[in-house]
Structure 1
Amino acid sequence: MNPARSPFAGDFQGIRRVLVRMANWIGDAVMTLPALASIREGLPNRHIAVLTKPWVADLFSGHPLIDEVILYESPGIHEGVRGKWRLARELKQKQFDLAILFQNAFEAALIAFLAGVPRRAGYNTDARGILLTQAVAVNGKVKKGHQVDYYRALTAGLGFESLPVAPSLALTKSRLEESERILKSRGLNGEEPLIGLAPGATYGPAKQWFPERFSALADRFSRNWGARTLVFGSSGDRDTASLLRKSARTEVSDFTGQTTLSQAIGLIARCRLFVSNDSGLMHLAAALGVPVVAIFGSTDPVRTGPLGRNCRVVRRPVPCAPCLKTHCPEGLECLEKITVDAVYEAARGLWGDAGRA
C-alpha cells in the first residue's frame, strides 16, 4: 500500500479520546477491523469509541479493540437535520480529540465537525475535504485492491503502522452460552456437527446462488457427514430460506430474521463449516475463524473475498463478470455455471481441514 500521507501523519500528541465512524454494513464493518487494530496499536492507552448504526453494533460489543460503542440511530432519533444536530451535541459532550472516518460520506465529516472534534481524519472523498483537518488521498491501486487494504491504507496515511492481520472477531462466553441455549431449544444438543448456510445477499439477486442448489448441498452434508444445516440471514432473506427448506429432503434449521446479530455470531461460531454468497455473514464467519466456502457471481473476490487460511472462493469466469450489478441482464451465467458438485468439493476439502484442526 502506498497511501498519500496526511501532512499531520503520526502526530498523536495530545490525543486522549478517539471517535471512529464505522462503516454502515456488516461486511464492510468486519473489513475495518485490521485498520482498527492499527489504531489501537498506535494509541494503546487512549479511549477509543466507535460510532455505528444499531444493526452493526453487536460486532463491537466486548471487542478488545473498543472501549465504547455509540449508536447512530437513523432511522430513529438521529434522523434528519434535527436528529444530526442532536447526535452532534451528544458527541460534543464526550470531548473527542480525534475523529477517524471509515465511512466515506460527506455526512460523516459534517457530524464530526458539528461535534467540535478538533482533528477530523478520513479519505478526501464526497467533496468533504474542507471539513477534514487530516485528509488522505485515495490512489488507484488502493481502489482496485481488497476492501481491507482500503481501510488499512487510510490508517497508514495517518501514520499508523499497517498490521498484516486478517479481520478477527471476539467471541464472548455469554454469546457461546446463549447459542447453546438457542440450539437446545431447537432440539440440537451438540451431537451433530453443524454447517451454516447464508443463501441471501443484501446487494441483490446477481449475488445469490440458487436456493435449490443450497438445498442439494444440505442433503449431501446430512447424508455424507451426518451434519445438521443451519440457515442464516435477515428478515429479507426469509423467502429464499423458505424455498431452500422446502426443496431440502433433510431437516434444516431456519434462523433467518429470528436472531440478533450477537446471537448469530454465537451460532455461526459453533459451525464447523459455513457456505455463503458474498455477504456480510460470509465475512463474519471468516473473522470468527470458521472455514468458509464463498460463492461469487457478479462481485469481485479480489476486492471483497473472505480472508483467512480456511477460506475458499468458488466462481466461474465469464466475460461479463465481475459486473458489480445488482440484477443480471445476461441470465445469471456466472452463477448458473457454479454446480453443486463444485461447491461440495470445496466444502469437502475444508471439512477435512476442520476435522484435523
Structure 2
Amino acid sequence: MKKILVVNVNWVGDVIFSSPIFKALKQAYPEATISCMAPLRVKEVLECIECLDEIIICDEGNVHNGIFAKIKLILELRKKKFDAAFLLHRSLTRALFVYFAGIPNRIGYDTKKRGAFLTHKVDWIEVNDVHRRDYYLNVIESFGVKVNERRTVLVPKNEVTQSVMTILRNNCVEDNDRLIIVNCGGNWDLKRWPKENFVELIEKLIGEYKQKGIKVIISGAPTDIVLVESIVEQLKEKPIVLVGKTTLIQVISLMSLAELLISADSGPLHIANSVNTDTIAIFGPTRSEITGPKGKGKAVILQKDIECNRQPCYKLDCDDNVCMKAITADDVFKIAVKIISDKGK
C-alpha cells in the first residue's frame, strides 16, 4: 500500500493513545504516505506524533457541519486515492466518508450499523474491557499489522520549545530551575480534584522547594482560568501561573521541560507521560486500566477504592465526588517529594 488514512478520534488523550499506530504502519509499509483525519482541536498533538506525514481536518461541529461541506471533504479524500482507511473513530458518519471516497480497504469496528460500509470488520471489543490504547491498536493488528512499540510517544518541536523557554524566562524562571507543573483542570467536573486540595498541595510544594531552585507552575487552558484564579487567591506564596498563556503545542514542550506533572486523568497527564516526564495521576471515577498513562515517563497512579469506582463511572450528576475527595493533598505531596528526591540523587 502506498497511501494510508487513519480516521482518528476527537479528544487529546485518545489521540495520544493512538500514537503507536503511525509508527507501526510506517514500519509495515515504509514507502507509504501516512495521513490522519481528525478535528482541528487535536491538530497540534498530531504534529508531534512520529511517522505521520499529513493531517486532514474533519470538523463536523464547525467547518464540515453542512451537507455541502461534507461532500467537499469526501471529494478531497477521493482525489487523494487512499489504498486503505483505518477507522479508530466509531461513528457511522466517518465510515460513510471513507466509503463514498472510494477507499478500497476500510477497516474498523462494526458499530452503529456501519458494517455494510466496511470491507474488514474488526471483532467487537467492549471499550471498557481493554485499555483505550489497545482498543485502537487492535484495529490495525486485526489487519495483520505488527506492533513492535506500544508506548505512547510525543516529540516536542525544537522551535516551539525555544518559545516556551522564552515564556518561562519572562515569568522569572531561570534556565537551571527545575519545574513541578500542576494541572488543576479537567474536561469534566467529576474527574477534577477538589480545589481546596490543590490549595493545600501547592502551599506544601512551594514551602518545600522555594529555596531549592524548584519552581511550581500551574498550567491549563483558557477554560481553567476562573478555577485557577480561585485557587491562587487563597495562596500566600504564589506559583507561576501559565494558564491560558500557552498553545496546545507549547504545552507539549512545557511538559517536556518539567521534572514532574501532577494532574487528574486528563489530556495534560498523557502529554507529560508521553514526553518522558514523570507524573502523579489522580484517578477517581475513571480507571487507570482503561485510560491510564502509557508513555515513557514514570507514572504513579493514586486511586482510592470506594466501591462505586471499581468500574469506570460516568455519573456526571454525582453530587459527592467522594472518589476524588478520598485522595488527600498529603498523599500526593509525599509521592512528589520522593520523586523529586530520587531525581536529585
Q: Find the aligned partners of 1:192 and 1:222 in 2 and give their Cα distance.
A: 13
Q: CA deviation at 1:330?
A: 5.5
Does 2:263 align with 1:276? yes
**Residue of structure 1 in register with 2:300 after alignment:** 312
**Residue of structure 1 in register with 2:337 after alignment:** 348
Q: CA deviation at 1:163?
A: 2.5
The verdict on how the C-alpha distance between 1:42 and 1:168 changes in structure 2, with shifts beyond 3 A counting, is same
Q: Find the aligned partners of 1:326 and 1:182 in 2 and give their Cα distance.
A: 39
Q: Give 1:115's match in structure 2, choosing from 82, 101, 125.
A: 101
**Residue of structure 2 in register with 1:250 after alignment:** 237
SS at match of 1:266: helix
**Amino acid in structure 2 at the alignment position of 1:249:** K
**Residue of structure 2 in register with 1:338 after alignment:** 327
8 Å CA contact 2:280–2:300 kept in 1: the answer is yes
**Residue of structure 2 in register with 1:208 after alignment:** 192
8 Å CA contact 2:200–2:329 kept in 1: the answer is yes
For residues 237-284 of structure 1, give each alpha carbon's deviation from its aligned partner in whole angstroms, at most 9, with x where no partner exists: 222211221122222222223321111111111111000010011111
8 Å CA contact 1:99–1:119 kept in 2: the answer is yes
For residues 114-168 of structure 1, give each alpha carbon's deviation from its aligned partner in whole angstroms, at most 9, with x where no partner exists: 222121111111211111111101235x741211111122211110113343101
Segment of structure 1 superposing worse, 222-231 or 290-299: 222-231
Does 2:251 align with 1:264? yes
Segment of structure 1 superposing worse, 189-198 or 24-33: 189-198
**Residue of structure 2 in register with 1:149 after alignment:** 134
**Residue of structure 1 in register with 2:183 after alignment:** 198
Q: CA deviation at 1:314?
A: 0.7
Task: Name the TM-score, length of structure 1 as normaliser.
Answer: 0.90
**Amino acid in structure 1 at the alignment position of 2:32:** R
8 Å CA contact 2:190–2:318 kept in 1: the answer is no
The verdict on how the C-alpha distance between 1:258 and 1:74 changes in structure 2, with shifts beyond 3 A counting, is farther
8 Å CA contact 1:143–1:150 kept in 2: the answer is no
**Amino acid in structure 2 at the alignment position of 1:103:** H
**Amino acid in structure 1 at the alignment position of 2:198:** F
Does 2:177 align with 1:189? no
Q: CA deviation at 1:326?
A: 4.8
Q: CA deviation at 1:195?
A: 1.2
**Residue of structure 2 in register with 1:54 after alignment:** 40
The verdict on how the C-alpha distance between 1:323 and 1:143 changes in structure 2, with shifts beyond 3 A counting, is closer
8 Å CA contact 1:205–1:326 kept in 2: the answer is no
**Residue of structure 1 in register with 2:209 after alignment:** 225
8 Å CA contact 2:87–2:139 kept in 1: the answer is no
The verdict on how the C-alpha distance between 1:120 and 1:157 changes in structure 2, with shifts beyond 3 A counting, is same
Q: Find the aligned partners of 2:192 and 2:48 in 1 and give their Cα distance.
A: 32
Aligned length: 340
**Residue of structure 1 in register with 2:162 after alignment:** 177
Q: CA deviation at 1:212?
A: 2.2
Q: Find the aligned partners of 2:239 and 2:246 in 1 and give their Cα distance.
A: 16
Does 2:27 align with 1:41? yes
Segment of structure 1 superposing worse, 228-237 or 287-296: 228-237
Does 2:147 align with 1:159? no
**Residue of structure 1 in register with 2:316 after alignment:** 327
For residues 14-62 of structure 1, give each alpha carbon's deviation from its aligned partner in whole angstroms, at most 9, with x where no partner exists: x110111111100000001123322222111210011121111111225
**Residue of structure 2 in register with 1:298 after alignment:** 285
Identity of aligned residues (%): 26
Q: CA deviation at 1:352?
A: 2.8
8 Å CA contact 1:199–1:214 kept in 2: the answer is yes
SS at match of 1:274: strand
The gaps in structure 2 that reach 5 residues or longer are: none
Q: Find the aligned partners of 1:165 and 1:323 in 2 and give their Cα distance.
A: 23
Q: Find the aligned partners of 1:283 and 1:205 in 2 and give their Cα distance.
A: 18
Q: Find the aligned partners of 1:354 and 1:134 in 2 and give their Cα distance.
A: 48
Runs of 4+ in 1 over 6 A off after TM superposition: none
**Amino acid in structure 2 at the alignment position of 1:32:** S
**Amino acid in structure 1 at the alignment position of 2:250:** Q
SS at match of 1:162: coil
Task: Name the TM-score, length of structure 2 as normaliser.
Answer: 0.93
Q: CA deviation at 1:198?
A: 1.3
Segment of structure 1 superposing worse, 20-29 or 32-41: 32-41
**Residue of structure 1 in register with 2:50 after alignment:** 64
